[in-house]
Structure 1
Amino acid sequence: MTSFHLEEAEIEKQLINDTDSDCGTEESESCEQTTGSESEVDEDPSSSMATWGPPAQHGTRVVNNYSGGAVGLNINEAPHVNKDSTTFCVFMLYFAGIIRLLVEETNRYCHQYLDRLQDGPSPRPDVIDSEMFQFLEIIIQMGHDIRDRLKDYCSTAEQFATPFYSNTMKRDRFLHILRFLHSADSNTETDRNADNYDRLWKIRTIFDTLNHSYEKCYNPSENLAIDEIIFKFKGRVVFRQYIPKKHKRFGIKTFKICDAAGYTYDMKVYLGKDRTRADQDVTATHATVRDLCRRNEDVGHKLYMENFFSSPHLFDKLMTKDITCCGTVRPNRKCLPDDFRRRQFRLNKGDIRVRVRWNLTALVSKNKREVNVLTIMRCPPAEGSFCDEHGNAIKPAIVVDYNKYMGYVDKADRMAKSYSISGRTWKWTNKLFFHLLDLIILNSNHWPTSSNKRLRCRVCSSRGKRSYIRTKCTKCDIGLCNS
């Protein structure tokens, strides 16, 4: 036997010894081998530059055991919340620290505005906590009752008359709070030309507070998805995005990570090019995923993403944090197999081509069009042409998993927009704040509280189950389901 064959046999032996057992045994139905915290995988430090090869050269697959807590309420952080608690109790877990900030900064901004005027209007009474709650109550109700202009809500015309708004708060008081609504001191703005300038400084405190509360009070599911969403805004802001393929083409883009219930676990607003990373060897998408996953490390989560984020280098880095990944990938990504990047395959319907590098699998399959997938989660499928008796292409298990788990962010976005707060003339800070308010309400209803019971409509008395706080009655479409 030549030295070349001896070396090849030694490499194969080493690959087998790196794991506890082969994935081809009868005990491993999904061809996955797990490893706990005591048994870590010996990774080649130069694995990102390793050679891609056919699936037969690697017969093992190593993934992480999920060691996270039970999905749902974190009892240690909210011992007073149980299954009999109302949705408002859960809502206040997130919002208790924000309401005082809104009241203080709104009053501060109003006084600063009046001080700049020589003959301005007489000062009005300061906003108090109860008035701020009433203001938000009206804002939420406006999501049910979309009208062209703000003054239509307080109109006494027969076709518009709704006593709820005038009985809750006077029109002038509502407009006063809406005009001066603030969450940061305007005098604390830093130099806009500085490298560390934060374009989100006006609402940064609320944003970070919510992200911390979402992580602290909730245990997400094992499978997570990361994606981008855009909420409509056509006003003036430097980081406004135009995405022609989106239904709402103009708006503010947000990256989110969500679990199976549609719970928004973490989020980040796209603010344009990050000047602090200009000289670092980290791409913008890599840094975005890394920042969103910083709260999910070392517990064995499975993360799904689209081709905007996926890359071999990113998957290798997340694997060192006990996060296994799966996602579609652009064929021209750096470090992908050469035949993938050069598009050398001529595939027919049902054809699958696979390349493997250590724990990383890259495959291209064709049904109506070619789909490139990168994953660490499953054993590489066999190459060939796979169609059923009707000539339909059979999807690989990797593609089936991606289609099953990737839609979590879209699910959360659909639920948040069902009765979302809308307004065409608000400033971008108000627009973003009310979007965050939608997410607070949505996240508050993912908890196992009494709000998920069958409730009675206050208008037609019919019973129905609501999935989150602003669901209307399914029969009369008017009354809200109340306990």
Structure 2
Amino acid sequence: MDIERQEERIRAMLEEELSDYSDESSSEDETDHCSEHEVNYDTEEERIDSVDVPSNSRQEEANAIIANESDSDPDDDLPLSLVRQRASASRQVSGPFYTSKDGTKWYKNCQRPNVRLRSENIVTEQAQVKNIARDASTEYECWNIFVTSDMLQEILTHTNSSIRHRQTKTAAENSSAETSFYMQETTLCELKALIALLYLAGLIKSNRQSLKDLWRTDGTGVDIFRTTMSLQRFQFLQNNIRFDDKSTRDERKQTDNMAAFRSIFDQFVQCCQNAYSPSEFLTIDEMLLSFRGRCLFRVYIPNKPAKYGIKILALVDAKNFYVVNLEVYAGKQPSGPYAVSNRPFEVVERLIQPVARSHRNVTFDNWFTGYELMLHLLNEYRLTSVGTVRKNKRQIPESFIRTDRQPNSSVFGFQKDITLVSYAPKKNKVVVVMSTMHHDNSIDESTGEKQKPEMITFYNSTKAGVDVVDELCANYNVSRNSKRWPMTLFYGVLNMAAINACIIYRANKNVTIKRTEFIRSLGLSMIYEHLHSRNKKKNIPTYLRQRIEKQLGEPSPRHVNVPGRYVRCQDCPYKKDRKTKHSCNACAKPICMEHAKFLCENCAELDSSL
């Protein structure tokens, strides 16, 4: 064979093999598998000296192979297997490694030294308010970003439809009965007042308290509830609030188990994504809305406080606990647009869509963590991830899950883009964490004698985003006992809307207002409009009108009593209906003789001087 032809053939083969080095799957082509629990080496030469081959010398090594072959006998034909073996040796990463059950190799030495900040760790966006949310200045405007006027109008339309159906049913049952005053159709300001009362009840931690206790008139009740609406009206509206068209629900349920609340929920999630850009650290986890009624997708989670309820999978900002994305677990959906997989891989892929290719980091627990998932997030969506790993995963070497180790010891395994650590916090216990963000064996010195790896401390600092949102919702929960699962989801939306609105308000106003003050101001601002309209009604009792005027801060109008005309006494109870022609000299308020105060001229002068 001609020397030039042989040299050209060898060079082409080597360049083809070297070009495949960037692919991580090259490690799967190795054929020499050692037994588990042992530290392995890639080649016979590495067993002798265990010296790393610098990446910049691979081309020199290839040229050396070509030079040696060109000096040989031109009649010798170089076997293809030898060419591949030498090319593979030139691109192998040297050093000891661990082998898992499925043959995945984890090297003991770091494969990507941190010489500069990696591209996957450079966040291209910052935590900030976006779009029209920047213009929100009041508590209600911030809240209205997430529960929009269109959503409220949709709820109002379907609620009035339910009320009309109730009126027709009542009239059919008793044709002689008139429609009660509390069964009238509602208005938008009254609907907002209803929501405001839910917020205020949660603020004083009375969401599970009997409604009769809140409306008591013996001094133990809450005035704002009685002045806003009657107890019968509140209960009637709460029972008749609806979120979809009932006439088409059966048709929509053929393709969606969550048809009764789908429209409102999707609009809320879209508003959350459009209003705010989260920070660089995110958390994915599940939350459970307590519910024990009838529901196709009710779940049982024993480690949750409520145990029974509706599961929601959430993507939350781990720094300021802003809710970015949500997905309700609706069970096995019928065939159609909502028939999606509930496997962890697909769930995470759907949740991270709003932050895809933003170089953020996502933290999740061992139910989500997977070797393929983390590499998929890094390569396809430019997102790093950190998570604990279940010990039955086939990619984990058995030496990483052995419990007969010294407490506070760590074992690291490295690949090109992913790192594995096994930490023993105490005797007979290990914790395994996988990360595509960390690429070294750094120990957090602030942990002292515990010697926790930085991967562990980072996971601990970013894992609780969804749990904190759960806690914030529970502190001022608006949920009330209900047998209808759409109401449970509606209460959950109101809780998360208040959290997100408070974050927007703080960012826009650059203040550190407490969430209690924010919710109180939000509730009162939504009630005042309804109080103004109720104060104009003439059929409300006088004592109630006086309380409304006091809450609104408006002075009571002077009563003009026409001489000789009998009018109702303003200080008598409504049931007595006592009329009088006398009035107060100071405010001209009509009063009967029972409430009049008689003074002589001397005492009257003395009383006026005081």
Q: Scaled by the length of structure 1, what TM-score is found? A: 0.77
Give the C-alpha shift of residue 145 in structure 1: 4.7
1:91 paired residue number: 143
What is the SS of the residue equivalent to 1:333?
Answer: coil
1:446 paired residue number: 503
Give the letter for the 1:119 counterpart: E
Give the C-alpha shift of residue 3 in structure 1: 9.0
1:361 paired residue number: 419
1:119 to 154, 170, 173: 173
The equivalences for 1:184-333 within 5 A come to 184-190=244-250, 194=254, 197-259=255-317, 260-274=319-333, 284-319=343-378, 320-333=380-393
1:181 to 217, 222, 241: 241
1:13 to 41, 55, 59: 55
Say if 1:266 and 1:281 are closer, same or farther in 2 by CA, change over 3 A.
Answer: closer
1:405 paired residue number: 462
Q: Which has the higher helix share?
A: 2
Give the letter for the 1:251 counterpart: G
| Separation in structure 2 between the aligned mates of residue 312 and residue 249 of structure 1, nearest angstrom | 30
| Separation in structure 1 between the aligned mates of residue 168 and residue 151 of structure 2, nearest angstrom | 26
What is the SS of the residue equivalent to 1:254?
Answer: strand
1:109 paired residue number: 162
The equivalences for 1:123-202 within 5 A come to 124-143=183-202, 144-146=204-206, 148-158=209-219, 160-190=220-250, 194=254, 197-202=255-260
Say if 1:422 and 1:390 are closer, same or farther in 2 by CA, change over 3 A.
Answer: closer
Give the C-alpha shift of residue 166 in structure 1: 1.6
Give the C-alpha shift of residue 247 in structure 1: 2.2
What is the SS of the residue equivalent to 1:77?
Answer: helix
The answer to whether the 8 A contact 1:55-1:381 is kept is no
Check if 1:470 corresponds to 2:522.
no
| Separation in structure 2 between the aligned mates of residue 338 and residue 387 of structure 1, nearest angstrom | 24
| Separation in structure 1 between the aligned mates of residue 273 and residue 239 of structure 2, nearest angstrom | 32
The answer to whether the 8 A contact 1:350-1:394 is kept is yes
The equivalences for 1:323-472 within 5 A come to 323-334=383-394, 336-339=395-398, 343-344=401-402, 346-368=404-426, 369-381=429-441, 392-447=449-504, 448-450=507-509, 452=511, 465-466=514-515, 469-470=518-519
| Separation in structure 2 between the aligned mates of residue 228 and residue 16 of structure 1, nearest angstrom | 48
Give the letter for the 1:185 counterpart: D
Give the C-alpha shift of residue 149 in structure 1: 2.1
What is the SS of the residue equivalent to 1:91?
Answer: helix
What is the SS of the residue equivalent to 2:191?
Answer: helix
Q: Which has the higher strand share?
A: 1
Give the C-alpha shift of residue 431 in structure 1: 1.6
Q: Structure 2 regions of 5+ residues with no counterpart?
A: 1-41, 60-101, 522-610
Give the letter for the 1:142 counterpart: A
Between stretches 348-357 and 433-442, larger displacement belongs to: 348-357
| Separation in structure 1 between the aligned mates of residue 305 and residue 53 of structure 2, nearest angstrom | 51
Give the letter for the 1:381 counterpart: N
1:77 to 101, 110, 132: 132
Give the C-alpha shift of residue 344 in structure 1: 4.5
Could you list the per-position Cα deviations for residues 291-312 of structure 1 after superposition, in whole angstroms to 9, with x for gaps in the alignment? 1101110111100111111001
Say if 1:283 and 1:16 are closer, same or farther in 2 by CA, change over 3 A.
Answer: farther
Could you list the per-position Cα deviations for residues 379-402 of structure 1 after superposition, in whole angstroms to 9, with x for gaps in the alignment? 1317xxx89999932000000100
Identity of aligned pairs, percent?
21
The count of aligned residue pairs is 415
What is the SS of the residue equivalent to 1:176?
Answer: helix
The answer to whether the 8 A contact 2:482-2:488 is kept is no
| Separation in structure 2 between the aligned mates of residue 453 and residue 424 of structure 1, nearest angstrom | 33
| Separation in structure 2 between the aligned mates of residue 284 and residue 366 of structure 1, nearest angstrom | 30
Give the letter for the 2:303 counterpart: K
| Separation in structure 1 between the aligned mates of residue 322 and residue 498 of structure 2, nearest angstrom | 11
What is the SS of the residue equivalent to 1:367?
Answer: strand
Give the C-alpha shift of residue 281 in structure 1: 12
| Separation in structure 2 between the aligned mates of residue 401 and residue 434 of structure 1, nearest angstrom | 33
The answer to whether the 8 A contact 1:53-1:355 is kept is yes
1:458 paired residue number: none
What is the SS of the residue equivalent to 1:267?
Answer: strand
What is the SS of the residue equivalent to 1:362?
Answer: strand
The answer to whether the 8 A contact 1:87-1:450 is kept is no
Give the C-alpha shift of residue 218 in structure 1: 0.3
Larger Rg belongs to: 2
| Separation in structure 1 between the aligned mates of residue 444 and residue 454 of structure 2, nearest angstrom | 14
Could you list the per-position Cα deviations for residues 432-469 of structure 1 after superposition, in whole angstroms to 9, with x for gaps in the alignment? 10111011011101121448456xxxxxxxxxx55762
The answer to whether the 8 A contact 1:421-1:438 is kept is yes
| Separation in structure 2 between the aligned mates of residue 363 and residue 310 of structure 1, nearest angstrom | 14
Give the C-alpha shift of residue 404 in structure 1: 0.9
| Separation in structure 1 between the aligned mates of residue 168 and residue 53 of structure 2, nearest angstrom | 77
Give the C-alpha shift of residue 227 in structure 1: 1.0
Give the C-alpha shift of residue 63 in structure 1: 4.8
What is the SS of the residue equivalent to 2:145?
Answer: helix
| Separation in structure 1 between the aligned mates of residue 389 and residue 519 of structure 2, nearest angstrom | 37
Q: CA RMSD in A?
A: 3.5
| Separation in structure 2 between the aligned mates of residue 65 and residue 338 of structure 1, nearest angstrom | 27
Say if 1:428 and 1:12 are closer, same or farther in 2 by CA, change over 3 A.
Answer: farther
Between stretches 119-128 and 207-216, larger displacement belongs to: 119-128
| Separation in structure 1 between the aligned mates of residue 185 and residue 56 of structure 2, nearest angstrom | 72
Give the C-alpha shift of residue 171 in structure 1: 2.2
| Separation in structure 1 between the aligned mates of residue 291 and residue 236 of structure 2, nearest angstrom | 22
Q: Structure 1 regions of 5+ residues with no counterpart?
A: 18-48, 455-464, 473-483
The answer to whether the 8 A contact 1:445-1:467 is kept is no
| Separation in structure 2 between the aligned mates of residue 449 and residue 16 of structure 1, nearest angstrom | 55
Say if 1:145 and 1:345 are closer, same or farther in 2 by CA, change over 3 A.
Answer: closer
The answer to whether the 8 A contact 2:288-2:306 is kept is yes
Say if 1:15 and 1:173 are closer, same or farther in 2 by CA, change over 3 A.
Answer: farther
